Chain A
Amino acid sequence: MNWLPMLLDATESTAANYFPIGIQIIFAVGFVAFMIALSAWVGPKRKTSDKLESFTSGISTHGDARHPMAIKYFLVAILFVLFDVEVIFFYPYAVNFKSLGWGGFEAVLLFVAFFLVGFFYIIKKGALTWED
């Protein structure tokens, strides 16, 4: 098996369609690495200990910046994972929407009903309220 027949039938949906994306990844990463290296090489290097302190508007830094954070952010991230998977389920449906007709629509309606139950539960419980 070689690339020639694979690339010729690129009109169909085959893995060969992704070949240019592979090239682009190499190209983009190469460009980014080159530019970072270039600016590191070209720029002046006069480091002093004051310059390398982290910037906090002129006042001296107090300890490590990394502190445990509010749980709301975790809740948003967890809910995002759940909802994201649910949204992904709609994509195969949207593509087949017309051929599936009412049967598919009812199935999705039931799915959305569960989705909404969860959604209202979340809102009622105040998981997405930011001001307390």
Chain B
Amino acid sequence: MTTLLAIDWALLTEKLILIAIIIFASLGIALYMTYGERKVAGILQDRPGPNRAGPFGIFQPFADGLKLIMKEEIIPDTSNKALFILGPGLAMSAALMTCAVVPWGDHVELFGRNIALQIADINVGILYVFAVVSVGVYGIMIGGWASNNKFSLLAALRGASQAISYELAMGLSLIAVLMTTGTLQLGEIVKQQMAPGHLWNIAYQPLAFIIFLVCAFAECNRTPFDLPEAESELNQGYHQEYSSMKLGFYLFSEYINMFISSAIMVTLFFGGYDVPFLNESLLSPNIAALVGIIALMTKIVCFIFFFMWVRWTIPRFRYDQLMNLGWKKLVPLALANMLITGAVILLWFNK
């Protein structure tokens, strides 16, 4: 048992602190995304939005969060109790797991240690995200089924079918990008885009980006793909029977997913923490990391605003339109994009 003591305690603490910071930061950002959502909706509809709790209503998310915790937990009699609790737990855990492979910055030097601002730089980077997303589907399915409510069940069914359909197009659209990068490691993909003379991947793969963006909307159940929560036909969707923090988890996981998918789109297509026309190597590492994080967050906020803007611009799809778009348009388009990218690179660029 003595070798157990040989654990690199410093590294363990470092990672633990990093994980805690990133998870609580994503929770805080998700909290303020609910506020942002309501403010953006207010502005787009020419009304003030939340403005009572604190100046400009900035304490509104805390009031909402506290309310969710203090509410009564209701578990319907006819539901399957264990699965009813497991559903939102799974959805939230999966949402909190995706941030592990996103590079939030290069590295910082603190207390003489070189701390990478990425929880885990693994060889299969982007596939890890797909694995977690595919497990996240269970949160919706189990929650909707365990409620034993017809609306919930229908919504869960829709949600799961939608999620798996768009996962395909999402996976296919990325292959063209990975052909140009030659690696799945997200940290490496960002470094390639930062290299001088190399543009962001959006310049090389605009079609892949558009397909990925559409799929990200569908995976996050955002309008125009919010059929699992179509309130006009399904009351509330798969979380109909939920109350208190379990409902909060479903709502939060959606916002965290939106945040992380924005982060991943920025990382893959918009240079991650890269600041254009700035040579980061001239700055000291800590300043460069700070500038990088600010740049990354700015780009992410732009994406989040885009998500919210679209919500009030485009009406909801019908279910057959949704499935047709996913299977019959995006999948062949992504496949064609992959083959054309391959042919073009082999013909002209593979010297």
Contact = CB atoms under 8 A, between A and B. Distances in A.
Partners in one complex: yes
Interface of A: 1-4, 7-8, 13, 17-21, 23-25, 27-29, 31-33, 35-36, 38-40, 42-47, 49, 51-57, 61, 64-66, 69, 73, 76-77, 80, 83-84, 87-88, 90-91, 93-98, 101-102, 105, 108-109, 112, 115-116, 119, 123, 128-131
B338 A90 contact: yes
Contacts of A84: 164, 167-168, 171
B230 interface: no
The dominant DSSP class at the A interface is: helix
Given A4-B7, A76-B323, A66 B148 contact: yes
B183 A95 contact: yes
B20 A4 contact: no
Contacts of A17: 120-123
Interface of B: 3-4, 6-8, 11-12, 15-16, 18-20, 23, 68-79, 85, 88-89, 92-93, 96-97, 100, 119-123, 127-128, 145, 147-153, 157, 161, 164-165, 167-168, 171-172, 175-176, 178-179, 182-184, 235, 240-241, 244-246, 248-249, 319-320, 323-324, 327-328, 331-332, 335, 338-339, 342-343, 345-346, 350
Contact of B122 (A18, A31, A88): A18
A21 B328 contact: no
Contacts of A93: 175
A39 B179 CA distance: 47
Nearest to B341: A97
Contacts of A3: 6-8
A53 B125 CA distance: 45
B175 A40 contact: no
Contacts of A54: 76-79, 147-149, 241
B2 to A, nearest CB: 9
Contacts of B179: 94, 97-98
B119 A76 contact: no
